């Protein structure tokens, strides 16, 4: 019962967030890459029913390696890579079966975790390689979040809400100056987006 209530609360909170984004002007999302936050994929699809939701591959790999010792970590990571770097969905499925045959006895939770999340992990295989490179991980936004956390870490108390907003504004201004534009692999990905979503792109 508690798990059900927690899941419903998470879904409500995530749905509220997505609804607020839509009310603020975000009218469409082609592909959303997110981590394993419960309820978030369902919330995205509820507010943006035409959006494809891809779970972050990097998060899935890190969660898989959580209980793997250092001795086997490199080998397990390499075998996991054969799954998500496969050229086709069929190849990924075969790689997952091979991984399970090799590692399930020693690490019985890894392959079931991939199978449980499979439908959202394999969304990348519906897209060409140019797009896969920019949608398989949430690392870009997490790097930004880490930079913001670093700035607020030593400032536990703020006199007003505006002071927080001003600090974030200045921080984002400084952070953006270090970004390389366009982002890596973005131009070829954008070409593919134009082909696939031309009817949904304006301006």
CA-to-CA dists, residue 65 to 59, 110, 161, 168, angstroms: 10, 8, 40, 34
Residue 170, pLDDT score: 78
Question: Per-residue confidence at 134, pLDDT binned at 50, 70, 90?
Answer: confident
User: What number is the average pLDDT over the span 131-160?
Assistant: 71
Q: Tell me if 137 sits within 8 A of 56, measured CB to CB.
A: yes
Q: Tell me if 167 sits within 8 A of 62, measured CB to CB.
A: no
**For the chain, what is the mean pLDDT?**
82
Measured CA to CA, the distance from residue 149 to residue 169 in angstroms comes to 13
Dihedral over alpha carbons 60, 62, 96, 69 (to 10 degrees): -150
Question: Per-residue confidence at 180, pLDDT binned at 50, 70, 90?
Answer: low
Angle of CA points 86, 92, 95, to nearest 5°: 100
Q: Kindly state the percentage of the chain with pLDDT values over 70.
A: 80
Measured CA to CA, the distance from residue 177 to residue 104 in angstroms comes to 46
In the numeric block, the tokens 């449980």 are attached to: 116
Residue 5, pLDDT score: 28
């Amino acid at each position: 019962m508690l798990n059900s209530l927690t899941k419903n609360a998470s879904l409500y909170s995530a749905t509220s967030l997505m609804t607020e984004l839509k009310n603020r002007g975000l009218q469409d999302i082609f592909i959303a890459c997110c981590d394993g936050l419960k309820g978030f994929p369902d919330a995205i699809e509820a507010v943006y029913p035409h959006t494809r939701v891809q779970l972050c591959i990097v998060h899935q790999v890190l969660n898989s390696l959580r209980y793997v010792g250092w001795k086997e970590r490199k080998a397990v990571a390499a075998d996991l890579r054969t799954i998500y770097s496969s050229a086709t969905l069929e190849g990924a499925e075969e790689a997952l079966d091979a991984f399970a045959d090799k590692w399930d006895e020693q690490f019985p939770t890894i392959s079931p975790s991939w199978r449980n999340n499979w439908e959202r992990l394999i969304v990348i295989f519906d897209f060409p390689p140019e797009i896969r490179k920019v949608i398989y991980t949430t690392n870009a936004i997490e790097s930004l979040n880490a930079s913001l956390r670093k700035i607020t870490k030593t400032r536990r108390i703020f006199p007003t809400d505006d002071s927080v907003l001003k600090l974030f504004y200045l921080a984002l201004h400084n952070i953006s100056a270090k970004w390389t534009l366009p982002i890596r692999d973005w131009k070829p990905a954008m070409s593919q987006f134009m082909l696939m979503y031309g009817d949904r792109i304006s301006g």
